Structure 1
Amino acid sequence: MAITRRQFTLGALASSALTATGLAASPGAALAATYTAYVMTYFTESPNQSGANYGLHVAVSRDGLTWTPLNQNNPLVTPTAGDLGLRDPYIFRKQDGTFVVVATDLYGTNFGRNSQYLHVYDSTDLTSFTGYRRIRMHTYTNVHTWAPTVFWDAGRGQYAIVYSANTSTDLFLVNYTSDFRTASGPQTYFSPGFPILDADIRVSGGVTYMFYKNLSNGNLYGARSSTGAPNSFTTYTSGLRQGNAIEGAHLVPRNDGGAWWLWGDSFSPVNNDMYLWSTGNVGGNSWSVMNQRDYTPPLNSKHGSITGITDAEYNAAVNRWGTPNWVRLKSSNFPDYFVRHSNNAVRIDPYPFEPYQDQMWRMVPGLADSAGVSFESVNRPGQYIRHSGYVARIDPNDNSSTFRADATFYRTAGLADSSWSSFRSYNVPDRYLRHAGYVLRIDPLSSSSSATDRQDATFRVTS
């Protein structure tokens, strides 16, 4: 059985009650307009599990769509109790403005291992995650405690922790807490008559919205309640799915208040894409599939959660943990494809693939001209992308003038999209790196070239 990703609620920094948009009484809701960036927590897996890591990973984003992993995409902290690993980390801004992270107590993919606990961390400003502990949610035997989500229940004056369990069937339980150290006994929160997984909950305009997976048909659905109380939800959306299989519904309000996003995971380790929908009305039943060209999750990320953060929090996290010293190159017209090396050839292939490091490049000052760039392989250090007979490949740097020239490119505005990038050859200056038949080469291109040719030569530099 697969697990899920998680999500966050809108946070709390001040002490007022309701905003003009009617968000539930929460200090953070009053200052939602001050959130100018986003943070994501997640764990990592790759097709053959070479990229699997069950510590707490964190990424940041200015726009909520293109993500930058912190700490070189390594975990910031790793559990030291229970199963010694976490899945489905869910970050939530508490009433005092600080953060709490709750996560499934499970290492790896042995889903037959069942824990009564959740991992818990505290964070003041994303520069540290401290106070590590586990919180016991129930005393059942052979019952899992998966994929927690958190919301502030204003009527109770407590936080609700909702999670997937398998008591009489696959359903959601809820415990209430004031301090994320002790919690009330579990109650059935939602059990609609068919098995379910992966709750994600957000309160807006006096309505509590919950998205979940229906295990009977594999689709994601939205339900809502006027109170957020247990057993008070009614499903109101049609089923949603992208890819072959999906889970981990993950509901995110945009910081500008203009729309909502709904993320979903492929649950198979061999295809760990994240998918995205958008809507201008979370209470409606109209979700638009977003083009993968428009969003790039962190490398190998699984089952994440997202919340808005301030500019100060974004800068503090970046300054503390650092951004990657490598990049990836995403194709403009095949947006699920990334540039990678394979048997010394350089090509684009659909993500994910193994070895996943084949798509990671150090973009360094040009070997022939520091005003340009060269691309050094991360997992084959000392080898660079160069052209030979106009075809791209990676070769060891022999420090010859010919090699340095072949391996140097000028980064320009993207020929198909000026917000992306194209790369013009240093020593054959009318030619650009482009893919043709999925293989990279350099060809003569200009702004008057065909739309297809220009798209083939346009890439997003991301991480």
Structure 2
Amino acid sequence: MSLSRRDFTRLATLGTLTAIGGGAAALVGPSAASAANSAYVFGYFKETPNESGDSYALHLAVSTDGLNWRPLNQNNPVATPTAGTLGLRDPFILRKQDGTFVVLATDLRGRIFNQNNQYLHVWDSVDLRSFTGYRRIRMHGLATHTWAPTAFWVPSRSQYAIVYSANNGADVFMVNYTSDFRTVSANQVYFSPGYPVLDADIVADGSTFYMYYKNMSNGLIYGARSSTGAPNSYTNYTGGLRQGNAMEAPLLIKNNTGSGWRLWGDSFSPVNNDYYGWSTSNVAGNSWTLLNQRDYTPPLSAKHGSIVGVTSAEYDGLVSRWGLPSWVRLKSYNFPDYYVRHAGDVGRIDAYPFDPHQDQLWRMVAGLADSTGVSFESVNSPGRYLRHSDYAIRLAANDGTATFRADATFRRVPGLADSTWSSFRSYNFPDRYLRHSNYVLRIDPLSASSSASDRQDATFRVS
């Protein structure tokens, strides 16, 4: 965590947390609901480059495909610790054997990683729409940290294992066992391969336990497996994975369809890309395919989160409790880590993350000139809209004129490069479409016969 904190944990099935912070992703044991899972929920904390958007509390997002996420509660916290550091990182949510949930999280607020803390935050939840029994549990008496918890059911012990990152002279994984997440056994070393490690995520598939973790000596993510899940029983079986300059917080999850797996890795720093993903049809093999960033959209400013499958009823309950966002983001098709934003009253696309992070948030409202169209009102500069002037896109205040209303109105149509995405045709210049050129937005004449690159410049995902 001083150099590598796990910023992407798996949230568990259903509802609403009450925590804030970070936790680790881990194995969710079989449950009665798992067979009917049709959606996903994601729990995380938030960081932005200049810290203006940092939130060391629990946030939630939902997805029907496990790839593209919509924050709940307007991306505001749903839970916050009231003891310890008053902040959390690395939230982890586990569906227990009885179908209810427990939430674990690192007790740490901010980016100061040299402090010792022997505790984890813990909440209980029936449905993740409310949280009870908040407490902290002491995991050890060492002069070290207790980071990135993950938990899973161990059938041979009829107990849960809580695995976390600590240092006992070396960076290792420790484990404590528990039946109630209130009292725990004495800590012991769980995995110490001879090099420093961080951020374990452990998932059981049948009788095999899979653990993905960060090797701190080279910054790569490795996979190991065990037939028992017992301490010191894991053997590496994958080569190292990494994208970008550094990576941590691996998150392994089986698709709701029952076939195929995804592995996520969080970027090392909030000034870098949020995370990267891989997929495989066989988690037992050593063949991961990097996902195209075009295919997934993480929650805004999400760090070290956790993902778990939920049923359609649980998904509906989450949406009913917290609400979907009142704003959208526009993601570039051919620069999929870039989003439409305003900067200096100019419409443009930039790679996220950036600050102010709210510059990319838009209220997509009924068209000012025609309610069957759409207009884009800035969230952090209300009353100001994207409009074209001399074909260039600017952010400007609505002056109430017919010309402004027409300039700020677009027709949403199937994407020119991909019909599952969207393109936006100018209302008063219907042969012209919103597109980026040298990262700056404008409207230009385009059609199905335009070049592939021009059509891609005019294609966006509304998320």
TM-score (norm 2): 0.95
Contact 1:372 1:409 survives alignment (8 Å): yes
Q: Structure 1's 25 and 128: CA in aligned 2 closer, same or farther, altered over 3 A?
A: closer
Cα RMSD, aligned residues only: 1.5
Contact 1:212 1:221 survives alignment (8 Å): yes
Q: Give the letter for the 1:454 counterpart.
A: R
Contact 1:260 1:281 survives alignment (8 Å): yes
- Kindly report which structure 2 residues correspond to 1:174-253, keeping only aligned pairs within 5 A, or say none: 174-253=175-254
d(CA) in 2 for partners of 1:175, 1:452: 54
Q: Give the letter for the 1:271 counterpart.
A: N
Q: Which residue of 2 aligns with 1:446?
A: 447
**1:290 aligned to 2:294?**
no
Q: Structure 1's 70 and 151: CA in aligned 2 closer, same or farther, altered over 3 A?
A: same
Q: Give the letter for the 2:155 counterpart.
A: A
Among all aligned residue pairs of Structure 1 and Structure 2, give the percentage whose two residues are the same amino acid.
68
Q: Which ranges in structure 1 are unaligned for 5 or more consecutive residues?
A: 13-23
Q: Structure 1's 27 and 219: CA in aligned 2 closer, same or farther, altered over 3 A?
A: closer
* Displacement of 1:139: 1.3
* Displacement of 1:10: 8.2
Contact 2:13 2:41 survives alignment (8 Å): no
d(CA) in 2 for partners of 1:33, 1:430: 49
Q: Which residue of 1 aligns with 2:135?
A: 133
Q: Which residue of 2 aligns with 1:360?
A: 361
Contact 1:10 1:32 survives alignment (8 Å): no
Q: Give the aligned length.
A: 449
Q: Which residue of 2 aligns with 1:123?
A: 125
Q: Which residue of 2 aligns with 1:405?
A: 406
Contact 1:11 1:97 survives alignment (8 Å): no
* Displacement of 1:205: 2.2
d(CA) in 1 for partners of 2:90, 2:261: 21
SS of the residue aligned with 2:58? strand
SS of the residue aligned with 1:278? strand
Q: Give the letter for the 1:346 counterpart.
A: G
d(CA) in 2 for partners of 1:380, 1:31: 43
Q: Give the letter for the 2:219 counterpart.
A: G
Q: Which residue of 2 aligns with 1:152?
A: 153
Per-residue CA shift, 1:273-299, capped at 9, x if unaligned? Answer: 111010111111100000000000100
Q: Structure 1's 195 and 409: CA in aligned 2 closer, same or farther, altered over 3 A?
A: same
d(CA) in 1 for partners of 2:162, 2:405: 57
* Displacement of 1:9: 9.1
Q: Give the letter for the 2:84 counterpart.
A: G
Contact 1:55 1:78 survives alignment (8 Å): yes
**1:94 aligned to 2:99?**
no
SS of the residue aligned with 1:412? strand
* Displacement of 1:418: 1.0
SS of the residue aligned with 2:433? strand
SS of the residue aligned with 1:303? strand
Q: Give the letter for the 2:318 counterpart.
A: A
Q: Give the letter for the 2:289 counterpart.
A: S
- Kindly report which structure 2 residues correspond to 1:355-394, keeping only aligned pairs within 5 A, or say none: 355-394=356-395
Q: Give the letter for the 2:94 counterpart.
A: F
d(CA) in 1 for partners of 2:197, 2:307: 22
d(CA) in 2 for partners of 1:51, 1:259: 34
Q: Which residue of 1 aligns with 2:162?
A: 161
d(CA) in 2 for partners of 1:291, 1:260: 15
Q: Which residue of 2 aligns with 1:36?
A: 38
Contact 2:164 2:175 survives alignment (8 Å): yes
**1:344 aligned to 2:358?**
no
Q: Which residue of 2 aligns with 1:277?
A: 278
SS of the residue aligned with 2:316? helix
SS of the residue aligned with 1:185? coil
* Displacement of 1:8: 4.4
Contact 1:272 1:302 survives alignment (8 Å): no
Q: Structure 1's 102 and 26: CA in aligned 2 closer, same or farther, altered over 3 A?
A: closer
Q: Which residue of 1 aligns with 2:173?
A: 172
Per-residue CA shift, 1:363-418, capped at 9, x if unaligned? Answer: 11111111111001111111100000011010111011100100000111111111
Contact 1:7 1:307 survives alignment (8 Å): no
Q: Structure 1's 355 and 26: CA in aligned 2 closer, same or farther, altered over 3 A?
A: closer
Q: Equivalent of 1:57, from 49, 53, 59?
A: 59
d(CA) in 2 for partners of 1:388, 1:25: 54
* Displacement of 1:129: 2.1
Q: Give the letter for the 2:169 counterpart.
A: S
SS of the residue aligned with 1:404? helix
Per-residue CA shift, 1:302-339, capped at 9, x if unaligned? Answer: 00011111000000000000111111000001101100
Q: Give the letter for the 1:446 counterpart.
A: S
d(CA) in 1 for partners of 2:30, 2:254: 16
Contact 2:252 2:264 survives alignment (8 Å): yes
Q: Structure 1's 326 and 6: CA in aligned 2 closer, same or farther, altered over 3 A?
A: closer
d(CA) in 2 for partners of 1:407, 1:10: 41
d(CA) in 2 for partners of 1:26, 1:380: 46
Q: Give the letter for the 2:37 counterpart.
A: Y
**1:430 aligned to 2:431?**
yes
Q: Structure 1's 38 and 329: CA in aligned 2 closer, same or farther, altered over 3 A?
A: same
Q: Which residue of 2 aligns with 1:17?
A: none
Q: Give the letter for the 2:114 counterpart.
A: G
d(CA) in 2 for partners of 1:375, 1:349: 17
Q: Which ranges in structure 2 are unaligned for 5 or more consecutive residues?
A: 15-26
* Displacement of 1:7: 3.9
Contact 1:40 1:307 survives alignment (8 Å): yes
SS of the residue aligned with 2:448? coil
d(CA) in 2 for partners of 1:6, 1:119: 17
Moved over 6 A (4+): 9-12
- Kindly report which structure 2 residues correspond to 1:104-119, keeping only aligned pairs within 5 A, or say none: 104-119=106-121
SS of the residue aligned with 1:455? helix
Q: Which residue of 2 aligns with 1:47?
A: 49
Q: Give the letter for the 2:142 counterpart.
A: Y
Q: Give the letter for the 1:33 counterpart.
A: A
Q: Which residue of 2 aligns with 1:83?
A: 85
d(CA) in 2 for partners of 1:51, 1:410: 32
TM-score (norm 1): 0.95
Q: Which residue of 2 aligns with 1:268?
A: 269
**1:417 aligned to 2:418?**
yes
Q: Structure 1's 118 and 404: CA in aligned 2 closer, same or farther, altered over 3 A?
A: same
Q: Give the letter for the 2:323 counterpart.
A: G
SS of the residue aligned with 2:38? strand
Q: Structure 1's 10 and 405: CA in aligned 2 closer, same or farther, altered over 3 A?
A: closer
